[in-house]
Structure 1
């Protein structure tokens, strides 16, 4: 279950929910598994941690971009 529309305007127009996390969910799961398989203190673990951080940052930036575009569209 998820939200079908992100927002409904006073005109009745609905903004679609982009499901930004769902598009990278499989990659994040794989990165978590890879991190769990690495030994602590290992340089490969730090590399896997960096990859996981990159994926979460990517989702965060996509969410911020969506909010910025939606607000600009409403203001314009």
Structure 2
């Protein structure tokens, strides 16, 4: 979906990359049993969390920007 949004609005360039970063953490951190032989606390490092936080902040900023614009009708 992020790719389609980027195609429709050039101002959203980079959204797909940021959403991809966030997506890789969704299942494993939400459902620890999805990680064979590990738990999230032992698999991720500080730089992983910083990268996810940065991507999340950028994604949130894009969403706020889009939602702040008046819609049709």
* TM norm structure 2: 0.44
User: Which is higher, the Rg of structure 1 or of structure 2?
Assistant: 1
Q: Is the strand fraction higher in 1 or 2?
A: 1
User: Using CA pairs below 8 Å that are at least 6 residues apart, which structure has the higher relative contact order?
Assistant: 2
Q: Whose helix fraction is larger, Structure 1's or Structure 2's? A: 2
TM-score by length of 1: 0.43
